[in-house]
Chains A and B, each alone.
Chain A
Amino acid sequence: MHRNLKIKLFLFFFLLFATILFAILFPRLTLPFGFSYIVYLMSKPLTSLLMTGSKKQRFFFSTLLILGVSLSLLPLFAAFYNIDTDFSEFSRQLPEVQKNLQDKYFVFKVYIFEKFGYRLNIDPVTFMVKKLEKGGTLLLSQIPNYLSSFFEWMLLVPMFLYFLFFQSGKFGYKLVAAIPNSIFEKTYVLFSQFNTKFGEYIIAKFIEATILGTSVTIGLWAIGFPYPFVLGFIAGLTNILPYIGPVLGFIPALLIALLTHDPKTSMLAMCLIYLIANLIDMILVFPLLVSKVVDLNPIIVVVSVIVGGQVGGVVGMIVIIPFIAFFKLLFQEIYKDLSVQL
């Protein structure tokens, strides 16, 4: 290979490595950029819908979009209002929950003593409550930091969004132009495929989470279970995490059912609602939306989610799946090339 071409190749990989290092070292910039990028990818199908077709079609879709957004905002406001009410009610009931928990633990202690003659000297309820209080105090002391991050995001996210919507085309073209000739075709195609896969995955997960959250909320509200909006919101949010998510989303409802003595509460009905909502998700929503994008073995998905959580927390757990799908694609390409060379 010509010397200049080697230098070009080295510079390209050096720049790539430096960019990744920069992203890891400066999460305060990377995270808002990542968030903006997700918003940008999520809005892509809409922009494509609004940019193609005849003038009449564009007008029709624009009107539909405005109407849809306006109508969906109303229940959203209602939901947020209810979430706030649910949270306040939950904090108000916390002492009662603590008392219930202590009563139940006392019964358990007595049972253990009568059955095995062993006296339990630990007090996990007080320990948990103290931990909760400590956590709350820590959270309060961290509020100024969260606020400053919030204002930082308020400034950075619109800026990044503006860049992504209006400048990314030209910038991306220049970036692509810097790829050396020897690896251009493959890199460009793989990068485009990753971009498409990532966008599709985020949209699919968002829709899936919304459907699941809504069905749980409606179900819990219908049987009169407490905090339906909070629990629906949690179920939707945790559903973003594959396989582990549904279990995590179910825990708060289970705890509430165990700890409250609400006569309206029906444990069986609540379990059935979660089961039905997750079955709808598994049988209908997931195969139609997500599995088309991510064609991975379930064991690989679970292991990836655990590794992603270890490396990058909740964000890592979410974004690891499209990355793994991309690496699968990359290895398939390399394998195909190697088999041709053999």
Chain B
Amino acid sequence: MSYEKELMDKVQKGEILPDKLDIPILKYLWDASPLGFGAKENIRSFFKKISILNSFSDNEIRLFTKFLHRREFIADEVIFRQGDSGYGFYFIYDGSVNIYANHLNNNIEERGDLIIRLDRRQYFGEMGLLEDFNRRSATAIANENTVLLGIFKPDLEKMLEFYPVLGAKFLRETALIMANRMGQLTREVMSLKKKIKELESRV
């Protein structure tokens, strides 16, 4: 019998309950249990499995989830377009997202090449959170019915104001993502340059 059911039975029978009963804390402890009694994955356990939030404690993840917005997208719905003002960073909670680089054809924007397909527990749009006048560099479209968890500029500001340590930690992780992507980009540019040189030497 679950603890909550036991309590409900006590209420129905008119028995006295303990003086201080903090159900949210009990629920939190239940969810945070390392033995993983709750088979169903909740948002907190979802974030525990995301590599960039590895350094976050259980309590920090609990606080972090307070600042998130759950957004549901149907298949083929546009999440954001290339060139839009960007303000948020998204985690894929369920479903998958396609990232396209659009191009102009006779002044009409067309959906370009698929750059990458992002799946559950992956993330995108971090530049929107940090840059002042960010323009989305690609178009993101839901590949199937998708649930995203997004954090936006005002949420980050609020987090930095009320939980500065958590905010700084999250910013450090976001900066790490960007540094990794920059490194990746540099490597790609170098490899492209090498290929161009090879082609030039052949010509």
* A189 close to B154 (CB less than 8 A): yes
Specify which chain A residues have a CB less than 8 angstroms from the CB of B163 in the assembled complex: 52
Please state if B162 and A185 are interface contacts (CB–CB under 8 Å). Answer: no
The majority secondary structure among interface residues of chain B is: mixed
User: Taking A2-B74, A177-B69 as contacts, is the C-beta distance between A336 and B85 under 8 angstroms?
Assistant: yes
B135 at the interface (CB under 8 A from A): yes
Report the Cα distance A173→B150, complex, angstroms: 13
Q: Is B124 an interface residue (CB 8 A)?
A: no
B161 is an interface residue with CB less than 8 A from chain A: yes
Known: A2-B74, A176-B69. A52 touches B161 (CB 8 A): yes
Residues of A within 8 A of B86 (CB): 185
Instruction: State how many residues of chain A have any CB contact under 8 Å with chain B.
Output: 24
Chain B 140-183 near chain A by CB (<8 Å), digits 1 or 0: 00000000000011100000011110000000000000000000
Across-interface contacts of A292 in B (CB, < 8 A): none
Q: Say whether B73 contacts A181, CB under 8 Å.
A: yes
Q: Name the prevailing secondary structure of the A interface residues.
A: helix
Neighbouring A residues of B77 by C-beta, 8 Å: 2, 5, 181
> Is B83's CB under 8 angstroms from A185's CB?
no
Q: Does A72 contact B (CB under 8 A)?
A: no
Task: Tell which of B76, B86, B128, B154 has the most Cβ of chain A within 10 Å.
Answer: B154
B162→A51 contact, CB < 8 A = yes
Q: What distance in Å separates the Cβ of A145 from its nearest Cβ neighbour in chain B?
A: 41
Given known A-B contacts A176-B69, A181-B77, A189-B152, A48 and B161 have beta carbons under 8 A apart: yes
Which are the 7 A-B pairs with shortest beta-carbon distances?
Answer: A192-B154, A189-B87, A340-B83, A185-B87, A185-B88, A48-B161, A52-B162
Additional A-B contacts beyond A189-B87, A193-B154, A196-B154 (8; CB < 8 A): A2-B74, A2-B77, A48-B161, A177-B70, A185-B86, A188-B152, A188-B154, A189-B152
